[in-house]
Amino acid sequence: MSSGPRIVCLGINYRTTPVELRERLAFPEATLPDANRQVQSLPAFSESVIVSTCNRVEIYAAHENERAHHQLIDYLVKHFQLAPDQAEALVCYKLDDDEAARHLFRVVSGLDSMVLGETEIFGQVKQAYKTALESGTTSRLLNKLVQRAFSVGKLVREKTAIQRGSTSVGSVAVDLAGKIFDLKTCRVMLIGAGEMARTCAQSLLSRGAQSIIVSNRSHDRALELAAEFKGTAMKFDEWEHALHEVDIVISSTSAPHFVVKPELVQKVMRQRRGHPLFLIDIAVPRDIDPAVNDLEDVYVYDIDALSAIAEDGRRERERQLALCEQLIEEQLVKFGITTPP
């Protein structure tokens, strides 16, 4: 790439870092504007876009600093007040210029996701970019890079079959539930009413689920999602009263702490008389205390536990991967980011 400001990407994802540490490094949505400005204010940094999802935290920045990677790692350690052992366990990928561009193109295309061909990531990066734009932390370099990434992501999805099958964390969560229950007869509760919950609801209905309860901090949002999928809405401070009636709980809130705790579930299990309870936690930070899994007849799967299910679908789409990678390489040359081989 040309001389002058350079592009850097520093990131962690589900491959490099377990959920226990990823949840410590997740940026709550409300903090992203300030976080982008904090990165932009680092010495010799000029632009910043932060992408924070359940499976990754990535910082894209424009800079003229030889220690860019070190400064970003130091920023993460200080911002999240990591203990020495956590800082030592922090394994980041560090990419510059064309490698950073290639990586972003792959991310937006769903090729770097736990679920190969994942659909949600396109919208998540789009929202991250919108936040950075509104925060005033992007300019010529990152604007051009991200807009090109969106163009490439659309091209990959149009020209290949990479999206065939289950291509979202939500749909994989429902796949997992379907391996254990007959979804046509089971009762499901969704805690959270965001995009992940919507994907779960769509997958549940397509599998014939008859009873869906939606609970969310914003009751209006719960009512809206429940109405869309012919379900029932509950106020957030009341969902626990219906826990004894459901078979499956899928939780995807943005709460910074555990929402489902062992003492609550233990009390509910006394009412269930041995009937198993299946909980899927697709939130980061996690919604469900891992200790809940220690209770008898209770089964908890977090976002990392879904990776084995996702791997089955990945193998079915691997044949499309080479075509996707070829398209990305062609676009890198087209945009002048790399030179022809």
The answer to whether the beta carbons of residues 123 and 319 sit under 8 Å apart is no
Distance CA 107, CA 95 (A): 13
Write the CA distances from 114 to 44, 54, 213, integer angstroms: 34, 10, 27
3-state class (DSSP) for residue 200: helix
Query: How many residues are recorded in the chain?
Result: 341
Q: Helices (H), strands (E): how many in the chain?
A: 12, 10
Rounded Cα–Cα distance for residues 177 and 309 (Å): 11
Amino acid at 321: L
**Could you tell me if 337 and 152 are in contact, meaning their C-beta atoms sit under 8 angstroms apart?**
no
Q: Which of 9, 54, 92, 324 is catalytic?
A: 54
Q: Is 54 a catalytic residue?
A: yes
Who's near 137: CB < 8 A, 6+ residues apart?
36, 37, 39, 40, 47, 48, 49
What CA–CA distances, in Å, run from 249 to 174, 181, 264? 11, 12, 14
Active-site annotation, residues: 54
